Structure 1
Amino acid sequence: MTITHWLFGDQLGPHFLTAGADTPVVMIEARSVFRRRRFHRAKAHLVLSAMRHRAAELGDRVRYVHAETYREGLREAVGDGPVTVHHPTSYAALRLVRSLDSVTMLPARGFLVAHDDFRAWADGADGHGGQRLRQEDFYRWVRRSHDLLMDGDGPAGDRWNHDHDNREPPPKGARTLGAPPPYRPREDEIDEEVRHDLDRWEREGSVAFVGRDGPRRFPASRREALAALRRFVEHRLAGFGPYEDAMLAQDPVMSHSLLSSSLNLGLLDPAECVERAEDSWRAGRAPVNSVEGFVRQVAGWREYVWQLYWYFGEDYRHHNTLRHHEPLPHWFLELDADAVRARCLASALAQVRDTGWTHHTPRLMLLGSHALQRGWDPGAVTDWFHRCFVDGYDWVMVPNVVGMSQYADGGRMTTKPYTSGGSYVNRMSDLCGGCAYRPGERVGERACPYTVGYWAFLHRHRARLERNPRMVQPVRGLDRLADLEEVLQQERQRGDGPP
């Protein structure tokens, strides 16, 4: 009996086809995915374009099915015939796969560490005793076990962590970083077809989107993804490290790789990305701090987030230790950047609206920080990030938002809440210039919403945060604020309107 291999829409690279070259393949475009959530239009376009590009590459080998649900599509394609599929990337998809008697699940692909290996490490089988489940420890373990960016038994450049060199503010007076531009694909007839279908679905009222769908900005095929990787490694990697946390209003991409969507669609394998970066360092084409910063993002943080999504279990998404329950306001849900006066937040929201992407600092320290300060429901914030980012998937956003951004797990994933006043934004960007607010002001018409929100957040959760060693000093700062009551009153008066 012929066995068919099923490819989900985020399993599009050659490493997801491990069977013989003659094994038939099924791909299912399920409309129900887009009915359930109001995705960013550019994200919907990218995913469908990538799936259809992959189907075109596979030619007669693939049965590409348009269906309402995955279950219906699989029944139409293979009936009760045997099917294999690699471990999916969400709990919902995993439940579906396990409910289908005819489907055999293969190990996960597209990551460096197997689930069992991570669980053994996390449970203490590697000598950690389960006492400290921190990304830095995991990252060093991955480096050692994969002989990645190592000099013998030690780290390349004699340091595991080059963050000290990679947290520079933007060059003074610079409007752009001056990096070579990133790879941008050219649309083709498949993109035209996808856009036509999305327009039709919206006219029919069967689905609705948020955000803008301009020309596609991210790779939708293996060929394009490899071109983007090559462009980054050869022309942009060398300048990536020092300014990876910085922000510039006129330069939203800086020297970032823009490879996250390609990795998360399965078009690139993380091993090939970090190996090419390491080769660049060994050839003397990129400094070790830039290469280590990129390797940390891929082999450290991305891998860590993937593993914690499964290790913490499905209930992790419901954590809400800080008891934040405020709904997301309409202006945020609609990506209405024009309604926002705070220049930094307006800039980040406009980038999401126009492209479905921002780099990690605006995500964490502008969008996520504002949500945390305002006490928005972390589940709703997670869903927003999932829907609105082209690289956003359930496994990506649950740990990143619940654990890192919103501190909703109370410190299980990170050692402190990641939020700040306007001084951080002012130091790490040019976004405070020309803003209606002033980062150093806490009260009055020009009081910075982030500065006000920061102190209000510390006050609201003082009893919890003063027990955190990393938060003792910030919390003590509340006692030095002679105008604290005015600050809190200003925060209360702000309501849920745009800052």
Structure 2
Amino acid sequence: MSRLVLILGDQLSPEIAALKAADKASDVVVMAEVAGETDYVPHHPKKIALVLAAMRKFAEALRDDGWDVRYSQLDDTENSGSIVGELLRRAEETGASEVLATEPGEWRLIEALSAAPIPLRQLPDDRFLASHEMFETWAEGRKSLRMEYFYREMRRRTGYLMEGDDPAGGDWNYDKENRKPAPDEIDFGGPMQFTPDETVEEVLTLVEARFGENFGDLRPFAFATTRGQARRALAHFIKGALPKFGDYQDAMMTGERFLYHAVLSPYINIGLLDVREVCDAAQAAYEAGEAPLNAVEGFIRQIIGWREFVRGVYFLEGPEYPRQNKLNQQRKLPWFYWGGETKMACLAKTVEQTREEAYAHHIQRLMVTGNFALLAGVDPAVVHEWYLAVYADAYEWVEAPNTVGMSQFADGGLFASKPYVSSGAYIDRMSDYCAGCAYDVKTKVGEGACPFNLLYWHFLDRQRERLEGVARMGNMYRTWDRMDDDKRAQILREAEAFLERMSAGEVV
């Protein structure tokens, strides 16, 4: 009796667990483009196109390898619109009585598959280096979860950048060398771009017709859509950008959207690249003297540290984690996150880039869009849904902990040691955005004051009861308390006025 082998759109790896457990001679691979996956948030058109084009090409590669693949396109007239519906349709068609699946990366799909009216076995996703059991063992007994300590454990387990039992160079972390502000110029042309072929063009036409109203520009489209293209993109980054990635990974520049960033996460997260081959390539560059330790360590940390850590948190905390709101923030997401006009240059540039590229690097996400949302008191659930919708690399297992835990501090400090908030000074130091802004970043109060300056203190004041006892927050409150009463009152009054104008729909 044949079985169905489910392959999801973010499981495009030839070594995925379900394929390894299947029998090519008798089992049938099921892949499906369904409305249930394209519509649960208003995904960026580029993200939808990337996944659908890569799925279609992966299906063809499986057929070439001898697999029987039953593929449902989004516009198929018999398409049921859901993953479970397509499994049942293919089971009836083939007579299969069981489904092999690799565990999905989102609780909603895990639960949907678990409730499917057909025997279904979910296998662990061993593309990740840390299993659920390993993370649970590491986390057991800890009141708070800190990536740095988990990362050290992952270094020891994997052997990356290790010299025996010690970290290469003597330190675990070289972040102190990775905080240089924006340079005068960038000598890297950005991530490798790929001209759409016939398959991609067919997908672009479909996405244009069906998702043309979604936030985001579909064209030009230049993402890799095959494993071979993704590997070329990796080699391009290692040679051209990795040597300077560390120095400028936190910098932001008008007109330079990518700086020395890899933009490989969309490919890693859908399975076109394996984390081991990515880390191996970076370590090989270090060992060959082609990239410095601070760059390679910072890059590998993002993969075996942050990426594995946030997945561990997501599955450890369970389905309710994305709805955490320990700071009780309730404001609606400002309209300018969806492309409306704003006079704040940093937000305007970051949202514009997000709309056009389906990409912004981690500091743009954390310290511009995330920082503002936290300072302004936006409901973290809507911030979470926005990030999930607009970025090509966003899947709930990786996006929710980064947003709910790190960016919005909505889990109350399980994930981060303090809220990631700043006044305009940080953005001014790490970018050139402020030079072209209608507001003056050096003005603290009064006409032209930077909204980040006002909202920073407003946030600390209104959240004092919850945050004053948080480690590393004491100095901020002592600075606030040293201000005279009139200045504090003026800051709070002007911050409230700004928030009222924003909520009323005025251009701010």
TM-score range, shorter chain: over 0.9
Q: How does 1:84-123 map to 2 (within 5 A)?
A: 84-100=100-116, 101-123=118-140
1:69, 1:180 → 2: CA distance?
Answer: 40
TM-score normalised by L of structure 2 = 0.92
Match of 1:454 among 456, 473, 476: 456
- Alignment partner, residue 64 of structure 1: 71
1:38, 1:321 → 2: CA distance?
Answer: 26
Matched letter for residue 10 of structure 2 = D
- Alignment partner, residue 180 of structure 2: 168
When residues 200 and 430 of structure 1 are mapped into structure 2, their CA distance, relative to the original with a 3 A threshold, is: closer
- Alignment partner, residue 57 of structure 2: 53
2:221, 2:476 → 1: CA distance?
Answer: 43
Matched letter for residue 176 of structure 2 = H
- Alignment partner, residue 9 of structure 2: 9
Q: Secondary structure at the match of 2:248?
A: coil
Instruction: Give the CA deviation at 1:11.
Output: 0.1
2:29, 2:490 → 1: CA distance?
Answer: 64
Q: How many residues align?
A: 484
- Alignment partner, residue 376 of structure 1: 378
* Match status 1:35 vs 2:39: yes
- Alignment partner, residue 265 of structure 2: 260
1:397, 1:184 → 2: CA distance?
Answer: 25
1:102, 1:362 → 2: CA distance?
Answer: 44
Instruction: Give the CA deviation at 1:49.
Output: 1.3
Instruction: Give the CA deviation at 1:78.
Output: 2.4
2:263, 2:211 → 1: CA distance?
Answer: 29
* Match status 1:430 vs 2:432: yes
**1:166–1:244: 8 Å Cα contact kept in structure 2?**
yes
- Alignment partner, residue 150 of structure 1: 162
- Alignment partner, residue 25 of structure 1: 29
Instruction: Give the CA deviation at 1:296.
Output: 0.5
Gaps (5+ residues) in structure 1?
124-128
Match of 2:442 among 440, 449, 474: 440
Instruction: Give the CA deviation at 1:109.
Output: 3.0
1:352, 1:377 → 2: CA distance?
Answer: 20
Query: How far does the alpha carbon of each residue in 1:289-340 deviate from its partner, in whole angstroms, 9 at most, with x for none?
Result: 10000000000001101111000111222211111011113332x223xx11
- Alignment partner, residue 76 of structure 2: none
- Alignment partner, residue 126 of structure 1: none
Instruction: Give the CA deviation at 1:132.
Output: 4.6
- Alignment partner, residue 291 of structure 1: 296
**2:41–2:388: 8 Å Cα contact kept in structure 1?**
no
Instruction: Give the CA deviation at 1:489.
Output: 1.2
Match of 2:339 among 335, 341, 344: 335
Instruction: Give the CA deviation at 1:20.
Output: 4.8
Q: Which range moves more in the overlay, 145-154 or 74-83?
A: 74-83
Instruction: Give the CA deviation at 1:202.
Output: 4.7
Matched letter for residue 112 of structure 1 = L
Instruction: Give the CA deviation at 1:468.
Output: 1.5
Match of 1:307 among 309, 312, 324: 312
**2:31–2:70: 8 Å Cα contact kept in structure 1?**
yes
Q: Which range moves more in the overlay, 61-70 or 390-399?
A: 61-70
**1:317–1:402: 8 Å Cα contact kept in structure 2?**
yes
Instruction: Give the CA deviation at 1:481.
Output: 3.1
Q: How does 1:463-478 map to 2 (within 5 A)?
A: 463-478=465-480
Q: Secondary structure at the match of 2:433?
A: coil
Give the CA RMSD over aligned residues: 1.6
TM-score normalised by L of structure 1 = 0.94
- Alignment partner, residue 397 of structure 2: 395
Q: How does 1:107-256 map to 2 (within 5 A)?
A: 107-123=124-140, 129-171=141-183, 174=184, 176-202=185-211, 208-256=213-261
**1:343–1:432: 8 Å Cα contact kept in structure 2?**
yes
**2:43–2:390: 8 Å Cα contact kept in structure 1?**
yes
**1:422–1:451: 8 Å Cα contact kept in structure 2?**
yes
What fraction of aligned residue pairs are identical, expressed as a percent? 38
When residues 464 and 366 of structure 1 are mapped into structure 2, their CA distance, relative to the original with a 3 A threshold, is: same
Matched letter for residue 63 of structure 1 = R
Instruction: Give the CA deviation at 1:180.
Output: 4.4
